[in-house]
Structure 1
Amino acid sequence: MNAVNTRTRTLGINFNNKGLANVVLWAPEADRVEILLFSSNIKIPLISEEYGYWTLETDIILPGDQYKFIINGDKQLPDPASLSQPEGVHGPSKAVNLKTFAWTDTNWKNIPLKEYITYELHTGTFTPDGTFASMEEKLDYLVDLGITAIEIMPVSQFSGERNWGYDGVFPFCVQNSYGGAEALQHLVNTCHQKGLAVILDVVYNHIGPEGNHLEEFAPYFTDKYNTPWGNAINFDDAWCDGVRLFFIENALMWFRDFHIDALRMDAVHAIKDFSPVHILQEIKEQLDFLEHQTGGCHYLIVELDLNDTRFINRVDKGGYGMNAQWIDEFHHALRVSSGQEKSGYYSDFNGIKSLAKAYQDAYVYDGTYSDHRKKKFGVKAKENGGEQFVVFSQNHDQVGNRMLGERTSELLSFDMQKLLAGAVLASPYLPMLFMGEEYSEPGRFQYFVSHTDPELAEAVRKGRKKEFQAFHMEGEAPDPMSVEAFEGSKLQWDLIDQHPHKTMHAYYKRLIEIRKNQSALSVLNRKDVQVECFEDKEVIVLQRQHKIQDVISLMNFSNKSQEVHVAVFSPAWHKLIASSDVLWNGSTDLPETISGEITLVLPPQSFTIYTNQYE
């Protein structure tokens, strides 16, 4: 049972081509296992196999049947590999046949990673209804904006109906309140019809607290390590083979059975694995087998807080083979450059000097001393292409993990928001937007949960309060259990047609269009990047090249006009965009063309792009 079958899901209940149900459960320490069918109230014993697996093939179980497993004639538990929990995390599992969905995306081909312009969203708060079906109604809007990939925050079943998704306890199960497995398949199919790639956020570093029954089946966790969120998953201790198979099969399922294009893997620095082959590398190797069988193309993108290129280097170069990683350091440097406070881990960043280094070197800390960490940190990333790094000015963590959940729109001026947007979209990396930022959504995105266990709910409240002590925050954090925290985090779609939100939306759309159409911006060659940092003026000049095209991005983070000179000659420099123009609610129109070298007085808090040729 330990061999990975990339062609089909094996764990849980699956239906073969003859319509028979194949049941597989891993419970190595059980003496007896039965499956209880709720519709007929009958119990069927499973057969013990090697390595602790229990199996059954039967024509009695049909799609739609609800069931639980009975361990040693005592505990009735839902399926660890359940595909549906119609009554929530404590209820019975429901058998689902993933093969019956009528896919129409056979002509879809995943776009190159370098072309990803990603839009991160949370299913429950992206639309008023908070479902996959209602999300489909907004896809044309995203396509029109210029987005090429959506990134969906985790959808694995969690307790209640309100959660960011990082408290999932059934990794194979799609949240019932979002619409379940078939609705997710339908959403992905529709995305592909519209030319959108789909990234799914998954959590392989911990399992949520409420409804987590994994330990009652097998040694899914280990005491060797700790994580900030609970017991560490057992990837290298006794009985780890079954755990590894569980998560490898999970990753393959999303690609094969849901046609997901990429996985964003949450906080992989919290995955503890000293095996000869790291679990991430093994997932990559199994994905390679799947791609060979199907001819498909998929990506693995990791959230990583280690500045360690081993994660994103190819396997044949001694790495784990991940395609790309988030770099929070770009965000931190950008945030401090915008004049926001330097508390907590932001204290390590020196405004535009750090931002200039992020443009040039990807990692701000690449072997240098970090005062926040009290040690030298990181390695250099000279050989890693721009498409291996995801950058952003906002994301769910950086907004929602503020005590009050304020977005940039509440913290910064309209002009500074435009500057931050330009700073991200002109970068030599993969840009990502957080839902609503493109029209300056003023509503907060707060942390919310809906645990039914009162003790757990209180522990979450206390945990949030303690977390903010490191940032010296005063006042009380909003109650994450409140319905208001969830409802207040929903996007206000009616604002897009109102000013100044309409202007910001048009500005973002134009920026994305420029990035796509100018080869010096769309080709992510880090070797053709030059950065000048004028600390005294708080100005960055970012020059990017491709063949004979030069694109110059000028960023003034100061509150004053600043004169800047760029000693790069061209017979004519053409303005692509200037955030200070009246068109974008600015007060100063910059010249459409400049001859020779560029000499400009940059308005305060402004972003400007000139190019030596149109394309």
Structure 2
Amino acid sequence: MEESIVEVGALLQEDGHCLFRVWAPLVKQAGVLLNSHYHGLVSRRGGYWEVTIPCIRPGDRYQIQLGDGPPLPDPASRWQPDGVHGASAVAGTHYNWTDQAWKGLRMEELIIYELHTGTFTPTGDFAGIIDQLDYLHDLGITAIELMPIAQFPGDRNWGYDGVFPFAAHTAYGGIEGLKDLVNAAHAKGIAVLLDVVYNHFGPEGNHFPQFGPYTTDKYKGVWGPVVNFDDAYSDGVRNFFWQNALMWLNEFHLDGLRLDAVHAIWDHGARHFIDELRIKVEALSQSTGRHKLLIAELDLNHPRYIQSPAIGGYGLSGQWIDEFHHALHSLVTGEVKGYYEDFGQPQHLVKAIRDGYVYTGQYSQHRKKNFGTYPTGTTNDQFVVFAQNHDQIGNRPGGDRLSSLVSYEMQKLVAATVLLSPYTPLLFMGEEYGEKNPFQYFISHTDEHLVEMVRKGRREEFAYFFGDDEVPDPQAEATFLQCKLSRAYTFDERAANLLSFYKYLINMRKFVPSLRSTHREDLQLLDTGHEYIIGFRRQDGFDALLIFLHFSQATSECHFPLPAGARKVLDSSASVWLGPGELPLSEPYPESWTLQPESVVVFEIPKKI
């Protein structure tokens, strides 16, 4: 039987009455300090405490007092106007939505653009993103994915240190600002996805331990204590995060959630937290008539999270595929340290293009064991692939982007590899024009001891990959400011041309039928006779394309005989793309033909009736 949701927090009604409910199963007494007046909370079943108080207005400050302890902000606070250490504020839910016709998007319709609210625009807020929606629409993006926006310490942070999962960060524009963004994006035909963190809590402003057993010591966590999803008292914790997910998807009209590091959500109970979350989100989709998506970040080559429940899966919409990135990145940069030691050869990228996963049971040198399994029972659109994202850029000492590591021609080839792949593509803000400004890790903690611990941790982490490379100070405001986008396409010819190239690829992906197929059997690898020329055929019914990705830095011969009537529709080396120039191709086509270094060439095949 499906568990029902018990709503927690300050739940304001239209008549001005407000229900204050908190989960604190181990205390003997609790109260709410509302505008400095104490109101006792009544104990209810399941460890909940509650009271209803009349004449409450949005913005009224309140705190929770447990026993004779100090007043604390509400873990389920939806508004922290004075930061993570200040009192909570009552929030209203009314908003004049104009997106009634919006029904959401399916995975196969997504072209995702990941962005960080604070660095995407000069203003660093939701209003700034709204100002860029026309740009994103013109680029061809169909969905933006916001890095976490839950209230965190200070005014700059990646977002994974959030300690108030229900509160949209005040510096970004809070509740109203986020709703304005979603409403405006839907008017442009753009879905909005939100990155949420359910696997750990941030360190500063974290009052969860005072309220109850939100964490457990059954497991060892990478980022601190593990969230309690299956130990004693876990019912209240599971309820807390289910409510959080449904709030974003329902009240805020968000189209989907990117679930951070689901492999760190430990649950060995009979019904996994993720499985039940999917059931509740499906029910919401049915009741609202809108598609809602759940996409997992998963560091395991196991399709269980996206397989159908009919065969024992958790039924999520999709998952990030880091191995596609690793195979592509190591091939074009030559980096083979750390987890890149499992990659670096063309056959790794061939495997990623064909299967999504690179390791499907073979031995992993990095892990020192056999790793992964084949993704049976899945479709290509369930795999989200990328050449860059916040982790893969930010977790480098200098936060250097791919544009600083490879040539201009290689940037075009990388773009084509992602956007012409059979999988759902994700771009990281700025890559579409070769942004040169870094994206580094930054924080604004107020605890100096914690700041020094973060500095030390970053130095130790980078030493594993990059030796003694200098690590920027994550606490320094300058580190944050230099991550702001330059929008070089407004003044640099090559950046503007690369932007046009991305637009062309995205337009192909959206409107060429053979690039829209999600079935694995509609992709066929081609024998090109050259290790560094990766060729594959994509088709959908009678429509077909031949795609050749050339990763060598020298001119090379492709030994794949082109069919009669094949028409070239893209050559990244063409002068129109500021390339070295297309190489001549005579007709009838020869048995072999030549490709420019670091190029992509695409042919359309005549339809057979």
TM-score range, shorter chain: over 0.9
SS at 1:36 equivalent: strand
Cα deviation digits, residues 88-135 of structure 1 (max 9, x gap): 00001110012x111110000112210100000000000011000111
Determine if contact 2:30/2:49 at 8 Å carries over to the other structure.
yes
C-alpha distance 591-365 of structure 1, shift in aligned 2 (>3 A): same
For residues 308 and 488 of structure 1, the distance between their equivalents in structure 2, rounded to whole angstroms, comes to: 38
Shift of residue 535 of structure 1? 8.2
Amino acid at match of 1:511: L
Aligned to 1:425: 419
Normalising by structure 2, we get a TM-score of: 0.97
Aligned to 2:220: 226
For residues 491 and 190 of structure 1, the distance between their equivalents in structure 2, rounded to whole angstroms, comes to: 22
SS at 1:486 equivalent: helix
* Aligned ranges 1:102-251 → 2 under 5 Å: 102-251=96-245
For residues 184 and 247 of structure 2, the distance between their equivalents in structure 1, rounded to whole angstroms, comes to: 19
Of 388, 392, 414, the match for 1:394? 388
Determine if contact 1:88/1:159 at 8 Å carries over to the other structure.
yes
Of 558, 568, 571, the match for 1:575? 568
For residues 163 and 359 of structure 1, the distance between their equivalents in structure 2, rounded to whole angstroms, comes to: 34
Aligned to 1:351: 345
Aligned to 2:33: 36
2:6 is the alignment partner of 1:12? no
Aligned to 2:259: 265
Amino acid at match of 1:61: I
Aligned to 2:598: 605
Aligned to 1:586: 579
Shift of residue 524 of structure 1? 1.9
Aligned to 1:293: 287
Q: For structure 1, which segment, 271-280 or 540-549, has the greater mean C-alpha deviation from structure 2 after superposition?
A: 540-549
C-alpha distance 310-594 of structure 1, shift in aligned 2 (>3 A): farther
Aligned to 1:275: 269
* Aligned ranges 1:442-453 → 2 under 5 Å: 442-453=436-447
2:85 is the alignment partner of 1:94? no
* Aligned ranges 1:352-431 → 2 under 5 Å: 352-431=346-425
Determine if contact 2:165/2:244 at 8 Å carries over to the other structure.
yes
For residues 332 and 535 of structure 1, the distance between their equivalents in structure 2, rounded to whole angstroms, comes to: 24
C-alpha distance 573-11 of structure 1, shift in aligned 2 (>3 A): same
Amino acid at match of 1:11: V
For residues 391 and 130 of structure 1, the distance between their equivalents in structure 2, rounded to whole angstroms, comes to: 26
Aligned to 2:20: 23
Determine if contact 2:143/2:191 at 8 Å carries over to the other structure.
yes
Determine if contact 1:578/1:590 at 8 Å carries over to the other structure.
no
C-alpha distance 521-392 of structure 1, shift in aligned 2 (>3 A): same
Cα deviation digits, residues 155-195 of structure 1 (max 9, x gap): 00000011000100001010110000111011000000000
SS at 1:442 equivalent: coil
For residues 339 and 561 of structure 1, the distance between their equivalents in structure 2, rounded to whole angstroms, comes to: 18
For residues 529 and 594 of structure 1, the distance between their equivalents in structure 2, rounded to whole angstroms, comes to: 26
* Aligned ranges 1:490-529 → 2 under 5 Å: 490-529=484-523
Of 531, 534, 555, the match for 1:540? 534
Determine if contact 1:261/1:297 at 8 Å carries over to the other structure.
yes
Aligned to 2:56: 61
Amino acid at match of 2:137: V
Determine if contact 1:574/1:594 at 8 Å carries over to the other structure.
no
C-alpha distance 572-78 of structure 1, shift in aligned 2 (>3 A): same
For residues 317 and 585 of structure 2, the distance between their equivalents in structure 1, rounded to whole angstroms, comes to: 39
Shift of residue 3 of structure 1? 4.5
Amino acid at match of 1:225: Y
SS at 2:560 equivalent: strand
Determine if contact 1:573/1:594 at 8 Å carries over to the other structure.
no
For residues 147 and 495 of structure 1, the distance between their equivalents in structure 2, rounded to whole angstroms, comes to: 17
Shift of residue 226 of structure 1? 1.7
SS at 1:510 equivalent: helix
Aligned to 2:555: 561
SS at 1:288 equivalent: helix
Amino acid at match of 2:62: Y
Determine if contact 1:334/1:351 at 8 Å carries over to the other structure.
no
Determine if contact 1:361/1:382 at 8 Å carries over to the other structure.
no
SS at 1:583 equivalent: helix
C-alpha distance 211-13 of structure 1, shift in aligned 2 (>3 A): same
Aligned to 1:70: 65
Q: For structure 1, which segment, 321-330 or 592-601, has the greater mean C-alpha deviation from structure 2 after superposition?
A: 592-601
Determine if contact 1:575/1:591 at 8 Å carries over to the other structure.
no
For residues 317 and 413 of structure 1, the distance between their equivalents in structure 2, rounded to whole angstroms, comes to: 45
Residue correspondences, number: 607
* Aligned ranges 1:431-442 → 2 under 5 Å: 431-442=425-436
Shift of residue 543 of structure 1? 1.2
For residues 274 and 133 of structure 2, the distance between their equivalents in structure 1, rounded to whole angstroms, comes to: 31
SS at 1:342 equivalent: coil
For residues 535 and 251 of structure 1, the distance between their equivalents in structure 2, rounded to whole angstroms, comes to: 50
For residues 470 and 210 of structure 2, the distance between their equivalents in structure 1, rounded to whole angstroms, comes to: 37
For residues 21 and 371 of structure 1, the distance between their equivalents in structure 2, rounded to whole angstroms, comes to: 57
Aligned to 1:80: 75
C-alpha distance 399-30 of structure 1, shift in aligned 2 (>3 A): same
Determine if contact 1:4/1:249 at 8 Å carries over to the other structure.
no
Determine if contact 2:362/2:372 at 8 Å carries over to the other structure.
yes
Shift of residue 494 of structure 1? 4.7
Determine if contact 1:514/1:576 at 8 Å carries over to the other structure.
no
Amino acid at match of 1:32: Q
- Unpaired segments of 5 or more residues in structure 2? none
C-alpha distance 413-139 of structure 1, shift in aligned 2 (>3 A): same
Determine if contact 1:125/1:487 at 8 Å carries over to the other structure.
yes
Amino acid at match of 2:70: K
C-alpha distance 175-231 of structure 1, shift in aligned 2 (>3 A): same
For residues 307 and 460 of structure 2, the distance between their equivalents in structure 1, rounded to whole angstroms, comes to: 37
Shift of residue 526 of structure 1? 1.5
For residues 595 and 576 of structure 1, the distance between their equivalents in structure 2, rounded to whole angstroms, comes to: 17
C-alpha distance 111-214 of structure 1, shift in aligned 2 (>3 A): same
Amino acid at match of 1:21: C
Of 296, 314, 335, the match for 1:341? 335
2:55 is the alignment partner of 1:46? no
Cα deviation digits, residues 401-454 of structure 1 (max 9, x gap): 011100001011001111000000110000010000001001111000111000
CA RMSD of aligned residues (A): 1.7
- Unpaired segments of 5 or more residues in structure 1? none
C-alpha distance 593-214 of structure 1, shift in aligned 2 (>3 A): farther
Q: For structure 1, which segment, 160-169 or 528-537, has the greater mean C-alpha deviation from structure 2 after superposition?
A: 528-537
For residues 597 and 310 of structure 1, the distance between their equivalents in structure 2, rounded to whole angstroms, comes to: 46
Cα deviation digits, residues 131-155 of structure 1 (max 9, x gap): 0011100000000000000000000
C-alpha distance 197-595 of structure 1, shift in aligned 2 (>3 A): farther
For residues 438 and 298 of structure 1, the distance between their equivalents in structure 2, rounded to whole angstroms, comes to: 27
For residues 494 and 123 of structure 1, the distance between their equivalents in structure 2, rounded to whole angstroms, comes to: 19
For residues 488 and 411 of structure 2, the distance between their equivalents in structure 1, rounded to whole angstroms, comes to: 20
C-alpha distance 593-455 of structure 1, shift in aligned 2 (>3 A): farther
